[in-house]
Structures are given as C-alpha cells and as structure tokens.
C-alpha cells in the first residue's frame, strides 16, 4: 500500500486487502457527521473502516434531538472484537458521550495496542457538541477526556469551543491559536491540531499543528457556505486513514487539511438546516 493517499487507487491496489482503521464514535441519523462521515472518508481514502458505536443520535439538519448511549462494556467489547480478529493500523474517536464510555475506551485501546504506548496511531477528536450547540458529551466527562484519553493520543484535533471547554483558553484571533495549542499540548498528546473553522471573521481557515516544539501553519481558503456539517469528523478520519496507510503525522495532517478543504468546497444543502461536507468528489466516475 502506498503511504500517500492523495490519489485514486490503481486497479491492482483495489483488489488488495486495504489498511484497517477503526472509528469509535456515535451515529448521525442524518448521515452527515459521526461514524457515517468517518466510514465515507475511510472508504474514499482506500482504507477498510471498522466501527465501535458509542451512541445513537436522533439528528437531522436542524440539530440533535436526543441520543442514547451504548453500554460502556459493549463499546469496549466492539473494540476488542474487531482488533483481536482483524487488527488495526490506526484509530480515532468522535462522540464518546460519557465518562464511563471514555474510561472503557481508554482501557480497551490500551489493551489492544492503540495509542502512544501501542503500535496503532490514535487520533482523539474531542467532540463535545454539535455545530448547533447540542451537547454530545456530558459536562462531567471532560475530565475523563483530558485525564484518560489525551495522554494516549498521537494527535488531538479540538475546535475552538472544545479548546475553551478543555483548557479555558479563549481564541478570537489567528494570533491566539499558538496559546491554545500550547495549553492543549500540556494535556499530554504527542501532536495537537487546533482547527480554525469557528474564527468566522478570519477571511481564511488557517489551522495550527504543534508537536511541543515546532508550530506548523496549515493554510486554507474559507469557503462562503453554511454547509459544513461533519467537517471535523471528515478531517480527523482522513488523517486517520493517512496514518493507517503509513504516512507520518505531519504528512497525514497536511493531507487531512487538503481533504476537508475539498469536502467543504463540494458541500451541499440537505433538509431545512445545515448540509454536510462531501466526499463524492473522491468517487471514481468510471462506469460499472
Ligand atoms: N467555511 C470553511 N471553508 C473552508 N474550510 C473550513 C470552513 N469551515 C471549517 N473549515 C475547515 O474544516 C476543518 C474543521 O474545522 P472546524 O469547523 O473548526 O471543526 P469542527 O467541525 O470540529 O467544529 C478545519 O480544517 C477548518 O479550517
Ligand atoms: C454523532 C455525531 N458525532 C459528531 C458530530 C459533530 O460532528 P463534527 O464534524 O465534529 O462537527 P459539526 O458537524 O457539528 O460541525 C455530530 N454532529 N454527531
């Protein structure tokens, strides 16, 4: 398998067993975010996607109406079942809902070798709320995220609301992204990516990556569209797919940024509210 996923698979590669990636995330009934977005990104990056479902949301383009959690031991059992049989080349988290689920995920990932002390890179996307402001994580679970998962993470990918909730650092200008990256990095991940989508007054979307020593700016255009549902999930999944294919973290994150830029550029309206970013542009148009 080629380490660079920024191209279509050749016809020979399409018959090989692809690298394996696991998402530990909630379902989105509207099909825009959560594990649906993750599986789409994995597929279109040439990676076999596996799921450990944490919660089922009742969600549409207008927001999250409700969710039910999967029992923590069932979440852990899904992780152990797929990794024990199939193996895993990289994993990511999305909506984790509760402290009990986070605790179970941390223990299961540690057991199967996902994370800093294991062999499979681990991307922790600290999903706290939907873009409409509906909570996807109980308030008392923030400590568990910080204390149990961040120290295991190869990379964490907070948006600016999540930075504020996790560290208290408020970001309202591009110049403040470095303070946010330092504060998040102090919580223990190897790499920290601060996403700038919520800096809506900035004419560009420049994300900031930090490894504890060096800062790497990830420039990008800001597209004038309200339809960015699932953008964070799609980016974290594209990064995870690149890591599963063997890319180093810096290269994987640069790929994830290019991938989500294209996905936002191709986003579409759906329902009466906010539509999703799109991965359709990655699908071959070859007739079957
Ligand atoms: N309107 C936009 N145009 C281009 N890129 C965007 C836009 N909104 C968000 N992004 C990018 O999408 C990714 C997800 O960002 P963000 O919206 O901050 O995260 P989340 O979806 O987790 O809230 C980042 O790379 C960000 O820069
Ligand atoms: C089930 C589920 N998981 C995550 C999200 C949030 O998705 P994300 O891509 O982080 O951001 P927004 O689409 O909310 O901007 C979700 N809504 N549902």
User: How many Cα neighbours within 13 Å face the side chain of 119?
Assistant: 5
What residue owns the CA closest to ligand 2's atom 6?
130
User: Ligand nearest 263 Cα, by number?
Assistant: 1
Query: Which band of pLDDT confidence, cut at 50, 70 and 90, is reported for residue 16?
Result: confident
> Within a domain: residue 11?
no
Which of 196-211 are b and which e, b meaning 16 or more Cβ less than 10 Å from the residue's Cβ?
bbbbeeeeebbbbbbb
What residue owns the CA closest to ligand 1's atom 18?
197
Task: Reply yes or no on whether the pLDDT at 167 is more than 90.
Answer: yes
* Total tally of structural domains belonging to the chain: 1
CA pair distance 32, 84, nearest whole angstrom: 29
User: What residues does ligand 2 touch, defined as CB less than 6 Å away?
Assistant: 25-28, 33-34, 57, 59, 94-95, 127, 130-131, 136, 228-233
> Within a domain: residue 35?
yes
Average per-residue pLDDT for the chain? 94
| ipTM of this complex | 0.97
Task: Reply yes or no on whether the pLDDT at 192 is more than 90.
Answer: yes
Distance of CA 199 to the CA centre of its chain: 19
> Within a domain: residue 109?
yes
With beta carbons less than 8 A apart as the criterion, state whether 203 and 222 touch.
yes
- Average pLDDT rounded to a whole number, residues 172-180: 97
221-253 pLDDT, tens digit each: 999 999 999 999 999 999 999 999 999 999 999
> Within a domain: residue 46?
yes
- Structural domain boundaries, residue 179: 19-279
What residue owns the CA closest to ligand 1's atom 22?
232
Phi-psi region of 46 (alpha: psi -120 to 50; beta: other; left: phi over 0): left
> Within a domain: residue 24?
yes
> Within a domain: residue 79?
yes
> Within a domain: residue 175?
yes
With beta carbons less than 8 A apart as the criterion, state whether 125 and 166 touch.
no
Report the CATH number that the domain containing residue 66 is assigned in CATH.
Answer: 3.40.1190.20
- Give the DSSP letter of residue 198: T
CA pair distance 184, 89, nearest whole angstrom: 25
With beta carbons less than 8 A apart as the criterion, state whether 275 and 269 touch.
yes
Instruction: Select from 89, 85, 83 the least CA-distant residue to 109.
Output: 83
Q: From 28, 165, 231, 266, give the residue whose CB has the most ligand 1 atoms within 8 Å, as the site to mutate.
A: 231
Which has the minimum average pLDDT: 180-184, 221-225, 283-287?
Answer: 283-287
> Within a domain: residue 198?
yes
Long-range contacts, 217-220 (Cβ 8 Å, 24+): 218/193, 218/253, 218/254, 218/257, 220/257, 220/261
| More confident site: 2 or 148 | 148
């Amino acid at each position: 398998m080629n380490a660079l996923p920024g191209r279509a698979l050749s016809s020979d590669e399409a018959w090989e067993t692809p690298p394996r990636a696991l998402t530990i995330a909630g379902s989105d009934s509207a099909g825009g975010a959560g594990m649906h977005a993750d599986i789409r990104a994995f597929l279109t990056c040439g990676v076999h996607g596996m799921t450990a479902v944490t919660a089922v949301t009742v969600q549409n383009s207008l927001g999250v109406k409700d969710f039910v959690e999967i029992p923590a031991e069932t979440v852990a059992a899904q992780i152990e079942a797929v990794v024990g049989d199939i193996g895993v080349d990289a994993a990511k988290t999305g909506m984790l809902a509760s402290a009990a689920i986070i605790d179970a995920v941390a223990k299961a990932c540690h057991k199967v070798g996902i994370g800093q002390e294991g062999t499979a890179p681990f991307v922790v996307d600290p999903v706290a709320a939907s873009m409409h402001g509906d909570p996807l994580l109980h308030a008392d679970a923030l400590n568990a995220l910080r204390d149990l998962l961040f120290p295991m993470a190869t990379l964490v990918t907070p948006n600016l609301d999540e930075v504020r909730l996790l560290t208290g650092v408020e970001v309202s200008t591009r110049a403040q992204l470095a303070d946010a990256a330092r504060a998040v990095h102090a919580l223990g991940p190897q790499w920290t990516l601060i996403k700038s989508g919520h800096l809506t007054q900035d004419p560009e979307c420049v994300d900031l990556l930090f490894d504890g020593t060096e800062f790497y700016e990830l420039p990008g255009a800001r597209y004038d569209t309200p339809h960015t549902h699932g953008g964070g999930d799609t980016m974290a999944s594209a990064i995870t797919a690149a890591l599963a294919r063997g890319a180093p973290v810096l290269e994987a994150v640069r790929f994830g940024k290019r991938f989500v830029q294209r996905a936002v550029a191709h986003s579409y309206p759906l329902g009466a509210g906010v539509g999703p970013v799109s991965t359709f542009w990655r699908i071959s148009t070859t007739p079957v």
